A and B are shown apart, each in its own frame.
Chain A
């Protein structure tokens, strides 16, 4: 699996992501600078990591979404290439129009940094094939703007087309407002685009991939992607 990891000024999770990608795929990702205009030849997966691109100026992800490299990412996605966008990455792809909706300020107005539980809604996608549908995983979140909103029609479409892949849930998988820490509509933590090749999610699976991290529930996402490309080869 050849990964390209985008680096914008102010991003701070790219090293965690690089470590997880190397661990799970056996291959170092290529770091791609925001001012570049091309992705490395033969890229299988584009990863947009978390952080605070451009200091979150204007709106989270707004400036990064218009950076030179994003035209190449858009073209890559249009050809069916897989894009994994985590945290600030999710905000960036929403601002870029690759996913619908917006990540608003957390309903409690606080930056929240802790582990949450996610219910995996589907296992039949390249991103979630390493999990079982209905499985609950524990992964960290660290964001101030993770409160997913979209208009009613968009939400109905996302739900109707099975494009919600992860939801904030209780440890036993119940959808409960008490476990929806940021107030996201329908407890949405991660969604797919219409074609099924762009995933945006707020939580950080890359931070739960090694025993020393205290939990390895994030491994399934990377293992699934590695499997996907092995089968495709």
Chain B
């Protein structure tokens, strides 16, 4: 089973890196960019076909390490 975990900063948290990227896009003349927030993507392969145990492992991975839930949200998607 394959899954993707996306980690993003919570909306209330300032993202200076996103701001810098936003500024760079504007200075490149990329038009219409209102704002940019930077995040992280983890593509994970789980042994076996999935199911409740695999979902629990992914949630565990996100909560225990991949996201710092003080400042970040995460989303788990099964991709294959």
Is A122 on the interface with B (CB-CB < 8 A)?
Answer: no
CB-CB under 8 A from B16, the residues of chain A are 104-109
Instruction: Name the A residues within 8 Å of B3 (CB-CB).
Output: none
CB distance from A103 to the nearest CB of B (A): 10
Interface size on B, residues (CB 8 A): 11
Chain B residues positioned under 8 Å from A62 (CB to CB): 65, 68
B70 in the interface (beta carbon within 8 A): yes
Judging by beta carbons under 8 Å apart, are B65 and A58 in contact? Answer: yes
Residues of A within 8 A of B66 (CB): 58
8 Å CB contact of B20 from A66, A101, A109? A109
Q: How many A-B residue pairs have CB under 8 A?
A: 31
Beta-carbon contact of B70 and A102 below 8 Å? yes
Q: Report the count of interface residues on A (CB-CB < 8 A).
A: 17
Secondary structure type dominating chain B contacts: helix
> Inside 8 A of B68's CB, which chain A residues have their CB?
59, 62, 95, 102
Q: Which residue in A59, A105, A151 is a CB contact (below 8 Å) of B17?
A: A105
Q: Nearest Cβ distance between residue B53 and chain A, in whole angstroms?
A: 22
CA distance in complex: A149, B13 (Å)? 9
Residues of B within 8 Å of A108, CB to CB, are: 16
- In the bound assembly, the distance between CA atoms of A106 and B16 in angstroms comes to 8
Please state if A104 and B20 are interface contacts (CB–CB under 8 Å): no
In the complex, whether B1 has a CB less than 8 A from a CB of chain A is: no
A151 to B11 CA separation, bound complex (whole angstroms): 13
Chain B proximity of A26: nearest CB distance (Å): 39
User: Are the C-beta atoms of B71 and A149 separated by less than 8 Å?
Assistant: yes
| Residues of the B chain whose Cβ atoms lie less than 8 Å from the Cβ of A156 | none
Distance in angstroms between the alpha carbons of A104 and B16 in the assembled complex: 9
The answer for the CA separation of A109 and B20 in the assembled complex, in Å, is 8
Interface string of B60-75 (1 = CB under 8 A from A): 0000111010110000
- Whether B65 and A66, one on each chain, are in contact in the complex, defined by CB atoms closer than 8 angstroms, is yes
- B17 cross-chain contacts in A, Cβ below 8 A: 105, 109
Task: List residues of A (113-151) whose CB comes within 8 Å of B's CBs.
Answer: 149-151
Interface pair B65/A150, CB less than 8 Å apart:
no
Q: How far is the CB of B67 from chain A (nearest CB, A)?
A: 9
**Per-residue interface assignment for chain A, residues 82 to 111, with 1 indicating a CB less than 8 Å from any chain B CB and 0 otherwise:** 000000000000010000111011111100
- A107 nearest CB neighbor, chain B only: B16
Interface set of B (CB-CB < 8 Å, partner A): 13-14, 16-17, 20, 64-66, 68, 70-71
8 contacting pairs across A/B (C-beta < 8 A): A62-B65, A95-B68, A102-B68, A102-B71, A104-B13, A107-B14, A109-B16, A109-B20
- Listed from nearest, the 9 A-B pairs whose CB atoms lie closest are A102-B71, A105-B16, A109-B16, A102-B70, A109-B20, A107-B16, A59-B68, A105-B17, A102-B68
